[in-house]
Structure 1
Amino acid sequence: MMNRSMTLMMAATVSGMLGFYLLFSTVPLYAAAGGAGGFGAGLATGAMMLSTVLLELAVPWLLARYGYRAALALGLVLLGVPALVLPLSSALPVVLAVSLLRGGGLGILVVTGTALTAELVPAERRGEGLGVYGVAVGIPSVMGLPLGLWAAGALGFTPVFLVAALVPLAGLVAVPMLPALKARPQASSSSEHVSGLARPILIFASVTVATGVLVTFLPLAVSPSLASVALLVQSICTPAARWWAGRFGDRHGSARLLLPGLALGAAGMALQVWPGGVIAGMVLFGIGFGLLQNATLAVMFERGAVGRVSALWNLAYDAGMGVGAVGFGFLVGATGYGLGFVLVALVMVAALPLVHRVSSTPTVISSPSL
């Protein structure tokens, strides 16, 4: 499974993701320090995620028109080059322009990497391949987020910006050695095909909404130190569960993991109402999230062309987190954190009826479309 092309693709993708996560929290801090305050910091993150979602929708066309190598190279360039502008000015318009470009690079990179993994891995081991890829792209978040913030405080912003620009650009070395593949758009638009993709997307979106809530509001609901430990535990459990889910899914079917993934995620979310259950709850939530990451993606790849599936899945990931954070912000004033967390858990419970429909939906496409 870990052939030369797969190894090169993962090296390029991990380099891009590391460059992204080094600045994920550092750029908002830079904007605030430059005089934009909390509003400017939030606007920088919002601009980046907006362009991420918009570009994700365009990637299937990009893959079909120009191929995987060109798309991967463009994503790495957009993540790297704009960061070189940041040392020149901390003015909010400059920061927002850089954030928009880098967000577009992220959208291209995550969709292309997921789709290319499905192309390069043998069909009978696709679930495990997606699990290994998930573990690999999870490492930059664990390393890059704390490292970027620490380095900005200890060394200053400029060295962090330069390293975060050069790391993605270094990944360009691997791109020419990848196979020259192009994706073929999926022609089917029947209601059966659309529902075959929509149901796993809704299941996955229910847990990404909860993820956006936890990442944004758990530090406010409990002590920051407890939240940092809880989020670290979740970030470790999720890729481990994603890898295991791939191995299990290849042997027994990925659809079997949808029910336990939702149940564990909902239980973990509900435990956040009790301070003594925060860590245990994040273990359960992290495992459920990892199971659903792999299972929903594998099920969707059985039913659609890789470019479209990767775009829709990543869109559900990023948009769900954004909707969860923004929506809970409006909700929490009326409900408080405890009841709010319970309501989010109920959103996942509400997705349970979709599990049976996914399991009973026939496969439309069983192999990647080149």
Structure 2
Amino acid sequence: MTTTTSTTTATADGAGARPRLMSRAFALVLVAGVGSSTSFYLLFSSLPRYADATGAGGVGAGLTTGVMMLATVAAELAVPRLVARCGYRTVFGTGLALLGVPALALLGVPALALATSGSMAMILMACLVRGAGFAVAVVLGGALVASIVPAERRGEGLGIYGIACGVPAMVALPAGLWLGDLVGYAPVFALAGVSALAGLAAVRDLPGRRPEPEAPLGLVAAARKRELLVPSLFFAATTVATGITATFLPLVGGAVSAWALLAHGLAVTCTRWWAGRNGDRYGAARQLVPGLVISASGIALLVLVSSPAAVLAGMVLFGAGFGLTGNASMAVMLDRVPSSSYGTVSALWNVAYDVGIGLGATGFGLAAVHTGYPAAFGLTAALMLLPLLAGRSARTRPERARTA
């Protein structure tokens, strides 16, 4: 595997030599990340509609998402132990197969000895398996980036990886619905399967099992460490709002909602690279509080949900804060553990993401029944700031030296 730590290049501003960021190994991780993200989001939007079309109705459509996310969270808890036992290459390859094969199985591929079936049982089984595969992909993607790129440019590497996975997600979510309406669901299933399995070509050159000087932290032990828990809480506060906006903004925001969600996605994507590069230079921990405050400010603007301008501005602000907090929290947590625990940190970060989305959507729905949507958005913005009460430890621990 090509290493990245020995080659240096001059910075654009002439400030001095910096380690080279791109390498063959990093490029392979990006390829696998693009494939897994494309595969997951193509069916994330289209499979619920397909379930409804087969007669499962709204309940069945909801079950497809619920089962998949439940499997994702459950598998994320197990991934660090699997990596310690089997290595990155084997586990990542298995995860991509778990994403791709069930999508093809929905076609009834003869080579898999499966008959074509539109039954709800088969759909839910595909969701269950794909959720586990996606968990592997997201946990190991972040851990591999942390292991491969130079420590001095880790935040920038995480930002680039976030863009590589985020852009396909933005495209695949609407594309799954559009293709399903235009040409039917079979091509969507085929594309989702091929996208994931194509990433297997990159996996063979990734690190295998290797001895570590220190035993990796368990997920529970990591969550008990304040220096890791606090950054994850900062991130979880923003993901709570993500679940709320994705679920409820289309219900109350009117015609501007689609544009607002797109603006949010673009703001997240554009912020990630800047956040990583800036964090590498000046310290990622310094970005946690501004990122959270910006996110909460964006949600606070949704109190004016009847105003299209306020909705658009709020979602841009929220997206910028989300990108800043997400990248910074991962970088801070990685700085505080040995390399053997990178997988555990990535798992904890992703659990915060998934649980935050689920809790946010559920809690907001219950609150809005009593307060109305504008007040519920205001309450959400206030609650998002609660991690500031515990935030001192996220900013006081010394960090590694940064490049100027």
**Relative to 1, partners in 2 of residues 1:31 and 1:192: Cα closer, same or farther, differing over 3 Å?**
closer
The answer (yes or no) to whether the contact 2:222–2:345 under 8 Å persists in 1 is: no
Paired with 1:256 and 1:183, the residues of 2 have a C-alpha distance of 34
Partner of 2:175: 147
SS of corresponding position for 2:372: helix
Paired with 2:140 and 2:322, the residues of 1 have a C-alpha distance of 22
Q: CA deviation at 1:6?
A: 0.3
Paired with 1:311 and 1:160, the residues of 2 have a C-alpha distance of 29
Partner of 1:123: 151
Paired with 2:162 and 2:47, the residues of 1 have a C-alpha distance of 25
1:73 is the counterpart of 2:93? yes
The answer (yes or no) to whether the contact 2:46–2:177 under 8 Å persists in 1 is: yes
Which residue among 218, 227, 234 is the counterpart of 1:196?
A: 227
Partner of 1:179: 207
Q: CA deviation at 1:187?
A: 4.9
Mapping 1:51-90, distance limit 5 Å: 51-87=71-107, 88-90=116-118
Partner of 1:222: 253
Paired with 1:33 and 1:21, the residues of 2 have a C-alpha distance of 19
Mapping 1:225-240, distance limit 5 Å: 225-240=255-270
Q: CA deviation at 1:90?
A: 2.1
1:298 is the counterpart of 2:331? yes
Deviations for 1:78-105, whole angstroms, at most 9, x for unmatched residues?
1000112223222211111110000000
Instruction: Give ranges in structure 2 of 5+ residues lacking alignment.
Output: 1-20, 108-115
- Greater helix share, structure number: 1
Q: CA deviation at 1:199?
A: 0.7
Paired with 2:243 and 2:133, the residues of 1 have a C-alpha distance of 21
Partner of 1:307: 343
1:10 is the counterpart of 2:13? no
Partner of 2:56: 36
The answer (yes or no) to whether the contact 1:75–1:108 under 8 Å persists in 2 is: yes
Partner of 1:271: 301
Deviations for 1:5-37, whole angstroms, at most 9, x for unmatched residues?
000111012111101111111100011111111
Paired with 1:182 and 1:333, the residues of 2 have a C-alpha distance of 53
**Relative to 1, partners in 2 of residues 1:242 and 1:91: Cα closer, same or farther, differing over 3 Å?**
same
For 1:247, the aligned partner's letter is R
Partner of 2:388: 352
1:246 is the counterpart of 2:282? no
Q: CA deviation at 1:353?
A: 2.2
**Relative to 1, partners in 2 of residues 1:116 and 1:191: Cα closer, same or farther, differing over 3 Å?**
closer
The answer (yes or no) to whether the contact 2:90–2:208 under 8 Å persists in 1 is: no
Q: CA deviation at 1:178?
A: 2.0
Q: CA deviation at 1:227?
A: 0.7
Instruction: Give ranges in structure 1 of 5+ residues lacking alignment.
Output: none
The answer (yes or no) to whether the contact 2:140–2:343 under 8 Å persists in 1 is: yes
Q: CA deviation at 1:62?
A: 1.1
Q: Point out 4+ residue stretches in structure 1 off by more than 3 angstroms.
A: 181-185, 187-193
Q: CA deviation at 1:112?
A: 0.5
Larger Rg: 2
1:261 is the counterpart of 2:281? no
Instruction: Using the aligned pairs only, state the percent identity.
Output: 49
The answer (yes or no) to whether the contact 2:223–2:229 under 8 Å persists in 1 is: no
**Relative to 1, partners in 2 of residues 1:193 and 1:252: Cα closer, same or farther, differing over 3 Å?**
farther
1:45 is the counterpart of 2:65? yes
For 1:268, the aligned partner's letter is G
Paired with 2:324 and 2:245, the residues of 1 have a C-alpha distance of 18
Aligned pair count reads 364
SS of corresponding position for 2:22: coil
Paired with 1:112 and 1:267, the residues of 2 have a C-alpha distance of 32
The answer (yes or no) to whether the contact 1:126–1:246 under 8 Å persists in 2 is: yes
**Relative to 1, partners in 2 of residues 1:121 and 1:279: Cα closer, same or farther, differing over 3 Å?**
same
Which residue among 311, 325, 333 is the counterpart of 2:369?
A: 333
Deviations for 1:53-99, whole angstroms, at most 9, x for unmatched residues?
00001110111111111111011101000112223222211111110
SS of corresponding position for 2:204: helix
For 1:186, the aligned partner's letter is P
**Relative to 1, partners in 2 of residues 1:83 and 1:90: Cα closer, same or farther, differing over 3 Å?**
same
Q: Which stretch shows the higher mean deviation, 231-240 or 81-90?
A: 81-90
Deviations for 1:192-239, whole angstroms, at most 9, x for unmatched residues?
97111111111111110010000010001111x311100000101102
Paired with 1:10 and 1:183, the residues of 2 have a C-alpha distance of 25
SS of corresponding position for 2:199: helix
**Relative to 1, partners in 2 of residues 1:192 and 1:203: Cα closer, same or farther, differing over 3 Å?**
closer
Q: TM-score, normalised by structure 1?
A: 0.95
Paired with 1:42 and 1:182, the residues of 2 have a C-alpha distance of 41
Paired with 2:272 and 2:211, the residues of 1 have a C-alpha distance of 25
Paired with 1:192 and 1:73, the residues of 2 have a C-alpha distance of 27
SS of corresponding position for 1:313: helix
**Relative to 1, partners in 2 of residues 1:191 and 1:207: Cα closer, same or farther, differing over 3 Å?**
closer
Q: TM-score, normalised by structure 2?
A: 0.87
SS of corresponding position for 1:180: coil
Q: CA deviation at 1:155?
A: 0.2
